[in-house]
Structure 1
Amino acid sequence: MLFKNDVFELDGERYRVLHPDSGSKSIWCISLDSEFAWPVRLPELEIVNLPSLAQGEVTHGTPSEARIRKCDASWARLAPLLRAHEHDLYDPRRRNRLIAEYAQEKKCSVGTLRKDLRRYWQRGQNKLALMPGYDKSGRRQGTDGDGLLPVTAGRGRKSKAGHKVYQLTSADAAHMKRVLEATYLVDKRITVVDAYTELINKHFRHADGNQTLFANHRGERPSLRQFLYFLKKNYNIEVRLRGREGNKDFERDHRKVIGTVLADCLGVGHFYEIDATIADVFLVAAEDRSKIVGKPTLYLIIDRKSRLIVGFYIGLEHASWAAALSAILTISEDKRALCARYGVEYDPDDWPAHQVFPVEFLADMGEMISEPSTNICEGLQGTVTNVPGLRPDWKPTVESGFRIEHCVLRPITPAYDPPWNATRRRGRHYEKDACLTVKEFGNLILNAIIMTNRREMKDYPLSLSELSGGVRPSPIELWNHGIVTRSGLLTRFSEETVRFALLRKERARVTERGIEFRGCFYSSQEAIAQKWFETARKHRFQVTVSFDTRLVDQIYVHALDGKSQPHIATLTTRSEAYSGLSFEEVKYYEDLRDKVRAEADEQRLQGRLDLRNRTALVVDNAKAELKALGNKKSRSARRADTKPARAKERQLERQESAQLQAAVPQPDAALESVARLEITSANRDQQDRLKAILARMSAR
């Protein structure tokens, strides 16, 4: 069923329904595909069951004031004619006469009335149908067969220098497109001028009589302004920035920011963001403040919803799993002992998230993507989400936390070295002011964390429930309010549980010399009581151990049955030399030891070869003399005379080795004192004489 203004298709042509003519059982329609169409009458039975392609009127977006004025003027001119003779205008025999009479009456053009009337019918039969199509004004914009971009057509600002305006062709557009996509849009270092120069160099040069190439004259080549217009017209700002900066840099620095990081955050404890940075402060050694130890590593763990700093690490470890473990451990660490270690006053109200672990850790693609980070999932019932590299905007809370802490510490910390100083020519040497040790700087960091957790945030987006509940926008109050109203329960873990869960786990071998692990040997009272080492003399076996890579002194040994609690094993006397070292240092020394063993094996082999070479002649001569005797005695017969032969051989040995020698005369006291004179390089003659005297004494 068709209604007024519905559009249908008949014989490949679109029509709009204008008005039914009940007397002749037909419908007045007008073609939409003809620029000079007028209403035609079509049989009702022929079109009534055709499907409708569109309903209603043509939309015009948001028209400008000029278009509205034009529309109002056209409507004021046409409306009286429609009110008086709308249905009569469908009939061509009456339409021409009525339009001519009305045009003479209103003193307007018949052509104008015919154009307005046709537009009124074709575009929906309402006032807005008379809206002028300024958006379609001007030269038609299209592409050629190769899909190239549009070209100019006699337009352009007249040159002040008097030369003609160059008119771009389809080939010029293709040249610009290729040059831009090969240079400007792929390399941030290339400027628009550089790309324009490349365009002229490749496509707009001519040779003189000497075949020397010159750029075409102005008016015979595209101008820089035309080139820049082409660039901005056909490549929007996102395309330009993505090509020149890269997708990651665009997403980080140039993308639209219309959302908030709290959009997918369910509440406090949902996301903990963790990251590390190098603190811009030079520190000194605790034992000797004259020695600078460099800049420390700072880890922060921040709850996304409340901005509460729940964990941290400050020390000389590089950004690694070992340092991240220490930061995560501070979530459950005894806060009184933590404050006492850094000399900070303890207040339990400053630590509302004590021992509370999140649903999800957000970290970058560094140490938190390593294999040991799976311990968080297995032992602490959490999830680790690694955001893409070079995308700090995915964890903005902790990134902003670093900036806040640096802003707090900058005016009060000696030897603070701002990042821009490193790139400044002849920058200042702030390390000369270094005087803080690691623990003293930790005191500053911990006090800054407590102050940050207490401080109210000016622009924090409080929810309606928080506003109505009178919640102050400080991290501690937001946490205390959120932990009560949060849907779902969070989990607490003790320090011992967290420490044990986060340690690396590997397999160690039990031998008769102890529990052998990474070049060290360990023992424990439990292992001795269960006779592990005696059993290992017959059959060696393996156990699971947990360890901290930073210190080899102790390891956790898991029970063989998997039910009992792990116990601590310590170094045996065989490995006491490694006490206080890390496993990496032990590996270094073990590699040196293996190198020494390999060299010793080579030396021992060479010694055996030399022995064979030196004794081969003696052995061969002995064999030859035995063979020359021609004695065919059996082995038993040869051994029968062993005792008398041994006695006779021993007698000859005694006569040879027990002979007394004549006594050697002792040198007199004078010669002995001369022999003890110090020989110096300055008196070569005296040195030679002393050597001669000593030689004569030896000869006597």
Structure 2
Amino acid sequence: MRLLQADTSTNKAWVIALHSHAWPECLPYSEIRDLERVSPPATPIHGHSQARIQKCEAAWKRLEPLLSAHGTSLFEPKTRKHAIAEHARKTGCAPTTLYKDLRRYWQRGQTKYALLPDYDKSGRTTPAADDASEACAITAGRGRKAKNGYDNYQITMADSSFFRKVIEKEYLPNAQISVPAAYRSLVEQFYRYADGNGELHVNPLGARPSLRQFRHFLLKAYDIETRLRGRLGNSDFEREHRKRLGTIMADCQGVGHYYEIDATIADIYLVSSEDVTKIIGKPTLYLIIDRKSRLIVGFYFGLENASWNGAMQAILSIAEDKRALCGRYGVPYAPEDWPAHQVFPSEFLADRGDMISHASSNVAEGLHVTVTNLPSKRPDWKPLVECGFRLLHNSIQPIAPAYDPPSNATRRRGKHYEKDACLTLRDFGHLILTTIIAYNQREMLGYDMDTKELLDNVRPSPIALWNHGIQSRAGLLTRYEESTVRFALLRKKKAIVTDKGIEFESCFYSFPEAIAQKWFETARKRRFSVTVSYDNRLADSIYVHPLDGKREPYVATLTERSAKYKGMSFDEIAYYECLRAALRVDAEHSRLQNSIDLSTTTRPVMNAARERLKSAPKVSRSARRADIKEVREEERKLERKAMAKIEGGKRSEVPALHPEPQNSRPPTPTPAAASGSLAERIEAARARMRS
């Protein structure tokens, strides 16, 4: 029971039972004074739905005037009856409603929040898996009566597990599976019966869950984030469906803090500058945008693919001579159009493409700038440069011929915009430079300016925002000359100094200082390595770092040995060297075959010569060498006679110097012949040589 009021002077205590349809009753205070007292938990004030709060406020509005007017006299039944009847007549409220509110007020602590409705007890709670059988019905007879005459199917714990299996194995992992398709799979797996012939049939209505019940379970058991992450993936959810409570400017400290860099393919067909009838395709466009001011500080437009070569050229454009650049493309030059000239940021924000290569480390090492590679498929982490492409394309679309919108690629029987192509790369450069200058001067309608910019009356254009922000950031940013930036962005590798020159990527280089310092003579005794910086696009020259590292790098050029590679890129040279290596492999095989063929062809002749020597009379070595001069002279005469004989104005048929041996063995010289005069011995030697 709950104690409502106690009066020790009259020994009266008003109490009310908590768990019954009761009213206050009066007891002697002395009977309850020594009983154990337990304080029930207070009703929480926060965390209620708006509907419960509204119901509570309405009940308090009805009851509060009654309590203020009569107070504790309402404990008496007669007083309570007349008071409630009079109050119901004045307010137009039903007496039963007032009785219910008053009982709840007394039983739950005599506070305003005791009138909260018991919405938490509405419906049927889902039984826990460990203390309820799978056949326990969750819905417990809910649902309006079906119009088709079938009973409503009551969802059980087993049905819930079946739902989850289909949803988690088929529906969530595959965005191609719709809810009806998942429901069909559910019925096919778990809600079919076999007839007497063993054929499977779908359970009739009332014996299986309906599509509406399946969809209701899906939406109730899996929230929208779980469904979208499972079906689309985390990257797509974060990009397209996540909440957007923050802003990219939250951690940006001002102009020059973050530069966003990215590349795209420009949607314009270009033509060759040598022959305007030849189309060279669409150029690559790089942009570098300052996050705070939205100023385009760097760019590249050309035929390089989206790679480190294009990114390097875009970064170099920050420090490039803008007067020469504008003159090259025929654009009027004004220094105020380029306020971020030579200013480098604290951090580059790039994707995981070209700027994740090892060469991008040169930016951090040479220019002391951090390069942050953002996660893949997250363009929302560098939204300014992504939108910058769209803004530039929107600006040039009405004026550029042969503009091919991306939507044309998926359009049925799309238009052939390439037929209108007439812009060369120089014309495209003039268009892009002019558009960038106009973009930097154009005011942004939706830019969120801070209070200081508003008080200083700053116009919301990128140039004005940069000029205003650079005043407080000038001491924190760094400027670099073009030569410094160009050298810092070059790739670095090791080269070998040989007696033929500085060998690098299959090319040989030299420079006067190396010759003066006798590098190549030293390399004949012991080769050594040096560090070189190079541009992968052209192999004509490289930078060679001095051995002591204290002087400026040397410029080395190709030697005569590698002059054939002049004007080529290192990738082209690698291709030719690959062809050369393949040719060498084939040549080695051919050389081996040629040597074996030579040995096979000459082996019979050589063997026959050895056999003739074996069959000849035995002569000592000194005897064989004694008359070389005379025998050689005789043999020369025979050769001349055979080679130089002229008969009847026509060269006679040349007899063989060494006729084929006859089948019969040559006659063995007699000892008398062997021991005859010198002339006889010479004649015998000739006979042997002829044989």
TM-score (norm 1): 0.82
**1:157, CA displacement in angstroms?**
3.5
Match of 2:212 in 1: 225
Match of 1:520 in 2: 507
**1:621, CA displacement in angstroms?**
4.2
Match of 1:139 among 124, 127, 139: 124
Q: 1:627-646 alignment to 2 at 5 Å?
A: 631=618, 633=620, 638-639=621-622, 642=625, 644-646=627-629
Contact conserved, 1:321 with 1:372, CA < 8 A, in 2? yes
Match of 1:385 in 2: 372
**1:415, CA displacement in angstroms?**
0.8
Matched, 1:663 2:651: no
Contact conserved, 2:499 with 2:523, CA < 8 A, in 1? yes
Match of 2:488 in 1: 501
Tell me: CA distance 1:22–1:102, structure 2 relative to 1, closer, same or farther (3 Å): closer
CA distance in 2, matches of 1:602, 1:382: 53
**1:227, CA displacement in angstroms?**
1.8
Match of 1:298 in 2: 285
Tell me: CA distance 1:398–1:22, structure 2 relative to 1, closer, same or farther (3 Å): farther
Tell me: CA distance 1:60–1:579, structure 2 relative to 1, closer, same or farther (3 Å): closer
Instruction: Name the aligned partner's letter for residue 132 of structure 1.
Output: P
SS in structure 1 at match of 2:301: strand
**1:130, CA displacement in angstroms?**
1.7
Alignment deviations for residues 446-488 of structure 1 (CA, whole Å, 9 cap, x no partner) = 1111110000000000000000110111000101111112385
TM-score (norm 2): 0.83
Farther off after superposition, 203-212 or 371-380:
203-212
Contact conserved, 1:103 with 1:110, CA < 8 A, in 2? no
RMSD (Å) for aligned C-alpha atoms? 3.5
Alignment deviations for residues 633-677 of structure 1 (CA, whole Å, 9 cap, x no partner) = 5xxxx257635224213312422442454536689xxxxxxxxxx
Match of 1:648 among 611, 618, 631: 631
Instruction: Name the aligned partner's letter for residue 521 of structure 1.
Output: F
CA distance in 1, matches of 2:105, 2:499: 103
**1:252, CA displacement in angstroms?**
0.4
Contact conserved, 2:59 with 2:101, CA < 8 A, in 1? no
Match of 2:224 among 211, 234, 237: 237
Tell me: CA distance 1:554–1:174, structure 2 relative to 1, closer, same or farther (3 Å): same
SS in structure 1 at match of 2:627: helix
Q: 1:324-335 alignment to 2 at 5 Å?
A: 324-335=311-322
Tell me: CA distance 1:196–1:491, structure 2 relative to 1, closer, same or farther (3 Å): same
CA distance in 2, matches of 1:53, 1:548: 81
SS in structure 2 at match of 1:658: helix
Matched, 1:529 2:516: yes
Match of 1:190 in 2: 177
Contact conserved, 2:259 with 2:288, CA < 8 A, in 1? yes
Tell me: CA distance 1:136–1:54, structure 2 relative to 1, closer, same or farther (3 Å): closer
Match of 1:544 in 2: 531
Tell me: CA distance 1:428–1:622, structure 2 relative to 1, closer, same or farther (3 Å): same
CA distance in 2, matches of 1:498, 1:534: 35
**1:197, CA displacement in angstroms?**
1.4
CA distance in 1, matches of 2:454, 2:137: 56
Tell me: CA distance 1:653–1:242, structure 2 relative to 1, closer, same or farther (3 Å): same
Instruction: Name the aligned partner's letter for residue 145 of structure 1.
Output: D
Q: Which runs of 5+ in 2 are unaligned?
A: 89-93, 652-691
Match of 1:373 in 2: 360
Match of 2:570 in 1: 583
**1:612, CA displacement in angstroms?**
2.5
Matched, 1:511 2:498: yes
Tell me: CA distance 1:72–1:380, structure 2 relative to 1, closer, same or farther (3 Å): same
Task: State the identity %.
Answer: 54
Match of 1:286 in 2: 273
Match of 2:674 in 1: none
Farther off after superposition, 15-24 or 255-264:
15-24
Matched, 1:316 2:303: yes
Matched, 1:445 2:423: no
Contact conserved, 2:239 with 2:378, CA < 8 A, in 1? yes
Farther off after superposition, 537-546 or 347-356:
537-546
Match of 1:411 in 2: 398
Tell me: CA distance 1:32–1:573, structure 2 relative to 1, closer, same or farther (3 Å): farther
Tell me: CA distance 1:127–1:54, structure 2 relative to 1, closer, same or farther (3 Å): closer
Tell me: CA distance 1:466–1:123, structure 2 relative to 1, closer, same or farther (3 Å): farther
**1:183, CA displacement in angstroms?**
1.8
Matched, 1:70 2:48: no
CA distance in 2, matches of 1:555, 1:37: 102
Farther off after superposition, 127-136 or 311-320:
127-136
CA distance in 2, matches of 1:35, 1:462: 64
**1:344, CA displacement in angstroms?**
0.8
**1:258, CA displacement in angstroms?**
1.5
**1:342, CA displacement in angstroms?**
1.3
Match of 1:128 in 2: 113
SS in structure 2 at match of 1:486: helix
Match of 1:163 in 2: 150
**1:412, CA displacement in angstroms?**
0.8
Match of 1:673 in 2: none
